[in-house]
Amino acid sequence: MDALSNSLAAADMAHTLHPNTNLRAHEENGPLVIARGEGIRVWDDRGKEYIEGLAGLWSVGAGFSQKRLAEAAYAQMLKLPYYHTFTSKANEPSIRLAETLAEITPEPLTRAFFTSSGSEANDTIVKMVWYRNNALGRPAKKTFLARNKAYHGITVASGSLTGLPVNHRDFDLPAIPVRHLTCPHFYRFGAAGEDEAAFTRRLLAELEAVIAEEGADTIAAFIGEPLMAAGGVMPPPAGYWEGVERICRANDILLVADEVICGFGRLGTPFGCQKYGFTPDIMTLSKQITSSYMPLAAVMISDHVYGPIADNSARVGVFGHGFTASGHPVATAVALENLAIMREEDWTGNAARLEAPFQAGLRAFADHPLVGEARGDGLIGALELVADKATKRPFETPGAMGRLASAIGHDEGLIFRAIGDQLALCPPMIVTDDDVAEIMTRMGRTLERLTDAAKADGLI
């Protein structure tokens, strides 16, 4: 095993360019090679067991090694392993999935466009909205509104919508017209003496001011994650989304819900927009749509959005957009089986039932001297580490404490995501009460060791 592990690590270090990685550090330290998974656990190539506390990348709802998904993929590969959906071609799994998504997503979403990733889906939304406004004779209505610390993907357009500096720096992004508004995280961005209600009013006033400054006739859409996840797990303040929807409707601005992480029950409701009480014109879906067993994403649109796009395709002769894998029959067949399992096992109900113990477990760490805030909704949460609890002062070297905590977590058999100095958890949707308790036990052991380790490393 050691020889194989060393061989795999050496090959990876020599030949793989990893996403979201310090590449020079990787050349020195090498990878964690995951060899197999079962349920909520994975094992590395040396046989060490971990609870996958982030469900892979916020996405393996069904857990690992769900045989029904493998069988669905195999059966479809034997029947029709690939076909495209260009020029009116179709296949049964993609048709059935579009029909199913129209049934389970909120009204008025009726039509699906398939891609292979959330990044491609949000890129598609930008192009769709631009195409639609050109069709309506509104060529100036092209600017998107997003938020600082948002994550919407990593392609040129979706990466521009993303509001994280590390995803912009030296990539020449943003490369499309986008305005990033204040991150709706009260703990970090609330002003001195401001309560949450006042914070919400300030954010909505900012939105109205930006619309007035830019001109509503130049703003195409507002895009947001119902709960901001990859930027640090930040639930919105009360009243925020209702206010955003009201302002968008008053100014003829489309509202896009990026449900790539929040969708399919993660927050204890079928979709995140339902948790926070707003209705989108467009919705982005991915990750848990197949539990990431196959790459797939969907853009759901209303008839209000679809009509001008369809009319324009008739005028110019074609809707000139699509991907080789749009509506891939194997990916959509796996999605159909995944959604069937989701209904049978009631993932949404499980998240709603376990929200209280999961969130209580996280909040029990709020008294730890290094934890500034414990937060989350449903089965997603985070601990924000700070140098000073009273002032919320961050550490002098951002991210170093998070990396140290992640390494200790691995040693304790818990994989979570260190987003800078924020420790994010988002376990598979199949977790049980006992699983939640064990996740919190392992996180507790990680925090118990963190202070001494940080002192030894000179971080505190």
pLDDT > 60? residue 225? yes
Per residue in 152-173, pLDDT (tens digit) is 999 999 999 999 999 999 999 9
User: Confidence class of residue 5 from pLDDT cuts 50, 70 and 90?
Assistant: confident
Structure token pair of residue 324: 């080789």
Q: Which domains does the chain have, with CATH numbers?
A: 32-65+346-456 (3.90.1150.10), 68-345 (3.40.640.10)
Report pLDDT for 248.
Answer: 98
Give the integer Cα–Cα distance in Å for 379 and 370. 23
* 103-119 burial: b if 16+ Cβ within 10 Å, else e: eebbeebbbbbbbbbbb
Q: In the chain, pLDDT over 70 holds for what percent of residues? A: 99
Report pLDDT for 449.
Answer: 98
Per residue in 252-296, pLDDT (tens digit) is 999 999 999 999 999 999 999 999 999 999 999 999 999 999 999
| Max CA distance (Å), the chain | 68
Backbone angles phi, psi at 282, to 5 degrees: -140, 145
Give the integer Cα–Cα distance in Å for 234 and 377. 9
Helices (H), 83-117: 92-104
Report pLDDT for 197.
Answer: 98
pLDDT > 90? residue 301? yes
pLDDT > 60? residue 32? yes
Report pLDDT for 128.
Answer: 98
31 CB burial (10 A radius; 0-12, 13-18, 19+):
middle
Per residue in 337-390, pLDDT (tens digit) is 999 999 999 999 999 999 999 999 999 999 999 999 999 999 999 999 999 999
Sign of CA dihedral 342, 344, 348, 352: negative
- The number of angstroms, rounded, from the C-alpha of 460 to the middle of its chain's C-alpha atoms is 32
Report pLDDT for 28.
Answer: 95
What does the mean pLDDT of the chain come to? 97
Report pLDDT for 6.
Answer: 83
pLDDT > 80? residue 90? yes
